[in-house]
Structure 1
Amino acid sequence: MILPTFLHAWRQLSTKIVSLLLGFLALALMTIGVTLFLSWQLEGSSAAINETGSLRMQSYRLSMALANWVDTAPAQEEARIRVDRELRAVEAKFALIKKGDPQRPLFLPPEAEIHDKFEEVSRQWHQGLLPLVNTMLGQQGALRRASWEQYHPQVDGYVAQVDDLVNLIEKDSEKRTVWLRSSQLVLVAFALVGTVVVIYLMFLLIIQPVTRLHEGMRRMTQKDFSVRLPVESRDEFGRMSEGFNLMADRLEGLYNSLESRVQQKTAALADQNRELALLYDIAAFLQVPRPVEAICEGFLDRICQFFRADGGLVRVLEPLRGNLHMVVHKGISDAMVEAGHNLKLGSCLCGRAALQGTSAVHNLRAMDAIPPLLCQREGFCTVSLFPIYARDQQLGFFNLHFRQARSFSRHEGDLLATLGQLLGVAIENLRLAAREREMAISEERNMVAQGLHDSIAQGLTFLNIQVQLLEDSLHKGNFEEAVQIVPALQAGVKESYEDVRELLLNFRSRLVEGDLVRSLEATVGKFRDLTGITTEFLADVDGAPFPSEQQLQILFIVQEALSNIRKHAMANHVAISLADRQDFSLTIHDNGIGFDVETVKQKGASHVGLDIMRERAQRLHARFDIASRPGAGTTVVLHLPSNRRLAA
């Protein structure tokens, strides 16, 4: 298990290079370590030579100190102190040489002869000279002189032994110096040989395979697809060579079949372009508002021409009764149109496929229907059916009839399904647009009804009450009371006339070229001319324009607010400010009599048009606020934040 793993790892180029470099690094570190060790030993030997040679100087200095001490009077202690100091220095020197100091470094070479010689010098000192000195230090007079005469001749022999020790250390240092130089020469030789070996191996492992690969790529760029690279190893370059050879095989095969593949791709691209052109044509056609019959007819013409169908039709589903109504047809006889104009779900081939809501392609020649189907009698060989969907809801289906056998690929089936969805969206948009128009008309009728109720209906109710009072007064013969009722009737008629005139003006309001500010300025001008009330209008507009429908709602809110001011506020000054930046804010303030907002809310307050303004604000998704107090005027605020507004 370990051997195959090792062999697999050794096949890797990275493993070879790393192993080679690590091997050279280990040898280099070992050689450098030997050199450093020899240098360290030479430094220690040099320090030992210095310290050992200083023993001679110390012995001479001790002899001089003893001679001086012997010749001085007994009371002279300075000479004695010097002798003691020199003795301590000699002892310290012996201890240092024997113990050594690795940090300096300082030590005797490891040769046995040198250590034996050092022991001999040490014995001669400690057993020969040092006892004489100690004896001399304890004597006086003639005895001291006699000891000195005995000590002095032995110093020369001791110094000679020290010289022998120094010579032995120097010879050892010379030998180690030769070793150091030899190791340095070996290191230089190793560096030269290693460099040559690395260059050769790099050439063999990297440069040569890269050169072969480059040459192969050069030949391949010259359309020589027969080139192949030799696979000489199992490393990365070997696998790269195998990959290059596989690529060359693939390219050679592709190049040989290039012409046929180009023709196939060209044909496929042409088909895709035709399909894209069909999708674009049908999508552009369905974008234009048309009646449903025109939409279906244009759709059917285009797909029949694209798929070369001999006939086709489009049916729309009526889900309540389960009927399929034929909208348009092409290339089929009047008999088929009459028979299939109103088809039930589940009947015939088309009805059953429509009931399942899936596509179907029927080969009529393979069917043995008795009696023969109407499509078979008409000479059609293939009848296909594809559903029309919009938002996962089936709206109908369309048929394609062929007099020759015809099958559809999966791609063609997806294309027809997409076309069915496009037609379904167009039909659904027509229905939604019709419903939207109906809703808009219904909502506007409700607004008109509310406007009539809040203005003319209340005025007519007031006039009806006044007419009844007038009739009662005339029956009772109370002409004086009748005369008092007539001015009220005149005022009511005038008020109703003004309400009718104002409603007509409001209903006829249109945006001035889509400009909300100019439309508001026109409305404020009409209000100022009609009522004589001082009215100010300030606009700060820098935001995105509103859609036309929203601009009309804002205009109607302003008109309703001004109408309430005219009827109820008794104001002589109105201020309108419009701030349209990121947020939209419209403020209408009057200095009229005001009212209690809570009381009005409890009573419903339909006579002041608050419900109308609130409903219009809800259409805008805006916040509508009103603030008023009796005697303090009224302020109406319409605020639309930027995250709710829609751009035109």
Structure 2
Amino acid sequence: MTPSSDSATASAASAASSGAHEAPFPKRLSTRIVVLSTVALALVLAMISGTLWLSWQLEGGGAAINDAGSLRMRANAVAIALWEARTGQPSQVDAQMHQLDETLRELRDGDPARPLFLPADAGIHAQFERVASAWNHTLRPAALSDLAASGGEPSMYIGLLPGFVDDANRLVSLIERENARKTAWLRISQVALAALSCVGTMAIVYLLYQWFVAPVQRLQDGLARIEAREFDTRLPVETYDEFGHLTQGFNRMVAELQALYRDLAGRVDAKTAQLAAQNRELATLYEMAAFLNTPGPAESLCHDFLTRVMREFDADGGTVRVVSPDDGNLHLLVSEGMPESITRAEQCMPAADCACGGATAEAPVVFGLVAQPGTRAAGGESGESGLSGAFTQRCLKAGFLSVAVSAIVAQNETLGTFSLHFRREREIPPSGVQLLQTLGRHLGVALMNRRLVALGRQLAVSEERNLVAQGLHDSIAQGLSFLKMQVHLLDGAAQQGDLDEIREIVPLLAGGVEESYDDVRELLLNFRTKLSPGKLRLAVEDTVARFRRQSDAELTLDYRDEDGPPLPPDQQLQVLFVLQEALSNARKHAQALHVQVSVVNARDFRLTIEDDGVGYDPADIASRGESHVGFHIMHERARRLAAVLTLQSAPGRGARVELVLPAASRMAA
């Protein structure tokens, strides 16, 4: 929409609004409806009242016509009564005269209850007075005179009667003429009422159309134009009533929609670009997380990480440095795109001498323009204040104008930093700063995991070496100590030339060497044992067969696979070590004749070794602590399995070893 059209529309709306202010009609629709209803009701009631009044007048005039017409009948009845009285019959003159008097009185006074009254017309009232005067002053005296005279016809009354009848007829004609005129007025009023009803209905329909239908249609037309995206549409404000307020609100809404629609394309483009950037960041994070979870040495991992980050941020160079736990210095681990002068000079340096030391767990990302001192960092507190003079000179000499440094953090511990160097002035937006911070945390977790894995391997090797040392101490060391003592005795016997003692010592030395050799072979066999899922039974059978070859004791094996799943290789190996250690103790110390081995692989895994040897005193073993290496090794193996190891024995009553691996501690093979 052009500015001219906007101004024209605004002017039209303003003029319409001002016209609405000057309208002489009531402003509110409710007031208009009340005024219109009141006027219509008043007119209808007035017309109905006039019609009712005319009807009442006609009814009273009709009764007056009847009574006025009855005057003739009453006058004739008086004449008949006079005639009858002259002929000697009973006289009814007084009664007839009284009825005629009552009729005249009612015509004069009227009777609203009937209703009965003479029309309000001067000629009718004058004619009535002539009729009444003729009766009171002429006919009545004549009738009384004729009644007083004896014999003959009532000549005087009969002579005056035609004139009275003519006056009565004239009165009836006047009343009938007046009723006819009022009847015409009644018809006119009825026609006027019908016409008023039609005109009023049309007027009400027209006003309702103007007040309700037309504004609604204008709003509907405006909505249709808005649906057609004609946002320059403005409706004229013709009234200042509810629809006027609604129209003003419609115009404001359309103006806001027009402004929003103008900016919509730009906003959509900006939002699309923002979503695209977020998608790229998410893809980068996903790819980086998947990459960092792959195995490999830390140097190769950091080099690939740095290459990917440089490609994402279009950096010209980059470094990854780790913090030495000994002196806190930064050691350059890998670099990419950096001159040899910088990598050689910054191979190991204090954190305070480089911008890379400014990134910590508290300020994960720092950013600065090397060439412009005092530039505020985006996301940190860098700038010239965070850069040493030597570092600045080296970066400027290499052509780097901007540097971004992010801390490598794991569990709020700063493991190192990685930096991105740019040969141009570069501003990193907040989303990029957050991405650098997240990438630093991902790399920190990956490095920490590798440290933990290395520590785990070292701990496992240390524990295994401890078990090896315990095994050597329990077997070979004791045998070598025995051989050393026998060699000392042999040396003394040889110096004294005691051949008999020499002959006794030599077999002991040969037996000790043979026993030590067997112990070494057994230890080597145990250390080299490797199992795969489902191979525990074969390993147990091999161990039992070796025991049978090395010992004269009778061994019985009961191996039952019930509803338990196979153990994984690690747990199988620990179970086998416990079995080997228990059988070794039985062979060396128990002097047993019978040994029974039971393996039950049910919901709980259960290993039991029983013998009928000399047994031992558990209290004595407990008081010796870790000096009995064999029992200590079995307890260590049970703890690794999270199993329950039970040792039962008594002097002269054999020994029992039971290892129970609960279902909750079992791992799937």
* TM-score band, normalised by shorter chain: 0.5 to 0.7
For residues 441 and 220 of structure 1, do their structure 2 counterparts lie closer, same or farther at Cα, with a shift above 3 Å needed?
farther
Which of residues 423, 444, 455 is equivalent to 1:435? 455
Work out whether 1:273 is the aligned partner of 2:310: no
Bigger shift: residues 426-435 or 545-554: 545-554
Which of residues 406, 420, 428 is equivalent to 1:408? 428
Counterpart in the other structure of 1:560 = 581
Write the distance in 2 (CA, Å) between the matches of 1:421 and 1:465.
Answer: 62
For residues 301 and 252 of structure 1, do their structure 2 counterparts lie closer, same or farther at Cα, with a shift above 3 Å needed?
same
Letter of the 1:279 counterpart: L
Letter of the 1:502 counterpart: E
Counterpart in the other structure of 2:340 = 334
Write the distance in 2 (CA, Å) between the matches of 1:603 and 1:260.
Answer: 84
The structural deviation recorded for 1:637 is 1.9
Write the distance in 2 (CA, Å) between the matches of 1:565 and 1:449.
Answer: 21
Which of residues 462, 476, 480 is equivalent to 1:456? 476
Aligned length: 436
Q: Is the 8 A contact 1:571 1:592 kept in 2?
A: yes
Which of residues 591, 597, 617 is equivalent to 1:575? 597
Write the distance in 2 (CA, Å) between the matches of 1:396 and 1:225.
Answer: 60
Q: Is the 8 A contact 1:528 1:534 kept in 2?
A: yes
Write the distance in 2 (CA, Å) between the matches of 1:455 and 1:242.
Answer: 103
Write the distance in 1 (CA, Å) between the matches of 2:597 and 2:251.
Answer: 88
Write the distance in 2 (CA, Å) between the matches of 1:545 and 1:404.
Answer: 63
The structural deviation recorded for 1:640 is 3.6
Write the distance in 2 (CA, Å) between the matches of 1:250 and 1:578.
Answer: 81
Write the distance in 2 (CA, Å) between the matches of 1:526 and 1:242.
Answer: 103
Which entry has the higher C-alpha Rg, 1 or 2? 2
Letter of the 2:519 counterpart: D
The structural deviation recorded for 1:336 is 1.5
Describe the superposition over 1:352-379 as per-residue Cα deviations: whole angstroms up to 9, x where unpaired. Answer: 4559754211112322877862212222
Write the distance in 1 (CA, Å) between the matches of 2:666 and 2:254.
Answer: 63
**Scaled by the length of structure 1, what TM-score is found?**
0.59
Correspondence list, 1:159-308, <5 A: 259-308=265-314
Letter of the 1:278 counterpart: T
Which of residues 598, 607, 611 is equivalent to 1:590? 611
1:635 is paired with a residue of what secondary structure?
A: strand
Describe the superposition over 1:588-637 as per-residue Cα deviations: whole angstroms up to 9, x where unpaired. Answer: 22333322221222244745610111122222333322001233322112
Work out whether 1:480 is the aligned partner of 2:486: no
Write the distance in 1 (CA, Å) between the matches of 2:471 and 2:373.
Answer: 68
Q: Is the 8 A contact 1:345 1:354 kept in 2?
A: no
For residues 256 and 486 of structure 1, do their structure 2 counterparts lie closer, same or farther at Cα, with a shift above 3 Å needed?
same
Q: Percent of aligned positions with the same letter in both sequences?
A: 45
2:400 is paired with a residue of what secondary structure?
A: coil
The structural deviation recorded for 1:549 is 3.4
Q: Is the 8 A contact 2:612 2:654 kept in 1?
A: yes
Stretches of structure 2 that go unaligned for 5 or more consecutive residues are 1-212, 375-383
Counterpart in the other structure of 1:527 = 547
1:630 is paired with a residue of what secondary structure?
A: coil
Write the distance in 2 (CA, Å) between the matches of 1:250 and 1:646.
Answer: 66
Describe the superposition over 1:491-534 as per-residue Cα deviations: whole angstroms up to 9, x where unpaired. Answer: 32222222111111111111135744444344334434544642
Write the distance in 2 (CA, Å) between the matches of 1:535 and 1:364.
Answer: 82
The structural deviation recorded for 1:317 is 0.7
Correspondence list, 1:365-376, <5 A: 365-367=371-373, 373-376=393-396
For residues 605 and 476 of structure 1, do their structure 2 counterparts lie closer, same or farther at Cα, with a shift above 3 Å needed?
farther
Which of residues 466, 485, 489 is equivalent to 1:465? 485
Write the distance in 2 (CA, Å) between the matches of 1:247 and 1:588.
Answer: 90
The structural deviation recorded for 1:304 is 0.4
1:592 is paired with a residue of what secondary structure?
A: coil
Work out whether 1:630 is the aligned partner of 2:636: no
Q: Is the 8 A contact 2:323 2:329 kept in 1?
A: yes
Counterpart in the other structure of 2:622 = 601
For residues 574 and 223 of structure 1, do their structure 2 counterparts lie closer, same or farther at Cα, with a shift above 3 Å needed?
farther
For residues 605 and 327 of structure 1, do their structure 2 counterparts lie closer, same or farther at Cα, with a shift above 3 Å needed?
closer
For residues 464 and 332 of structure 1, do their structure 2 counterparts lie closer, same or farther at Cα, with a shift above 3 Å needed?
closer
Stretches of structure 1 that go unaligned for 5 or more consecutive residues are 1-207
Pairwise CA RMSD:
4.2
User: Structure 1 segments of 4 or more deviating over 6 A?
Assistant: 218-229, 239-256, 368-371
1:365 is paired with a residue of what secondary structure?
A: coil
Counterpart in the other structure of 2:357 = 351
Counterpart in the other structure of 2:315 = 309
Q: Is the 8 A contact 1:574 1:591 kept in 2?
A: no
Correspondence list, 1:386-397, <5 A: 386-397=406-417
Counterpart in the other structure of 1:497 = 517
Letter of the 1:559 counterpart: Q
Q: Is the 8 A contact 1:560 1:609 kept in 2?
A: yes
**Scaled by the length of structure 2, what TM-score is found?**
0.57
Work out whether 1:320 is the aligned partner of 2:326: yes
Q: Is the 8 A contact 2:566 2:668 kept in 1?
A: yes
Letter of the 1:512 counterpart: S
Write the distance in 2 (CA, Å) between the matches of 1:451 and 1:587.
Answer: 21
Write the distance in 2 (CA, Å) between the matches of 1:589 and 1:571.
Answer: 11
